[in-house]
Amino acid sequence: MSRFRRASLPPEVRSGLRLERGERVLAHAAAGADGVLVATTGALHLPGGHRVPWERIDRARWDAEGLRFVEEGSGEHAFPVAEPGRLPEVVYERVTATIVAGRHVPLPGAGGAGFRLVARRPPGGSRIDWRVHLDEGVDPGDPGVRTAAERALALIREQTGV
């Protein structure tokens, strides 16, 4: 028996997961009193049953308190994690693996502010979706921003073939 045996996922947590066909558990960690965070091949499963596919996590970061991440369309989530185990490396690897291409495009006269264009693909999938993420302070209603994003997207798609 190995001294480095991983703790198994508690049965009550496993039974509450909504796993898709072929989805496997990779890592998990207690998220304080909230419950358990579970990283699978397809998503990050949050306490309470919410499933966040890896390609929908825009930014994730770990600090002394735990995990903070931005879910596209839902905003920021924060979970205290005292003993993360392998969870940080799995989250990093899984989110990064969904990124096919990306580029930051500064807007003229905006002091370096602009937008990020990111092509994402779900794990095991073939469909690629492009997303535009505006930097802090960039007005999403500005027609110049829309035009710049459309031009930059056409250029990066031509350059990458994606």
**Residue 131 belongs to what H/E stretch?**
strand 129-134
* Contact (Cβ atoms closer than 8 angstroms) between residue 149 and residue 155: no
Paired strand residues for 36: 30
Name the band, by pLDDT with cuts 50, 70 and 90, for residue 6.
low
Residue 79 has, within 13 A of its CA and on its CB side, a CA count of: 26
Model pLDDT for residues 53-96, shown as the tens digit of each residue: 999 999 899 998 899 999 998 999 999 999 999 999 999 999 99
Q: In this structure, are residues 133 and 116 in contact, taking their beta carbons and an 8 Å threshold?
A: yes
CA distances from 75 to 52, 68, 71, 148 (A): 12, 11, 5, 25
Residues 6+ apart with CB under 8 A from 33: none
Domain architecture of the chain: domains with CATH: 11-96 (2.30.29), 99-160 (no CATH)
Other Cβ atoms less than 10 A from the Cβ of 100: the count is 15
> pTM score, two decimals?
0.84
When pLDDT is cut at 50, 70 and 90, the band that residue 1 belongs to is very low
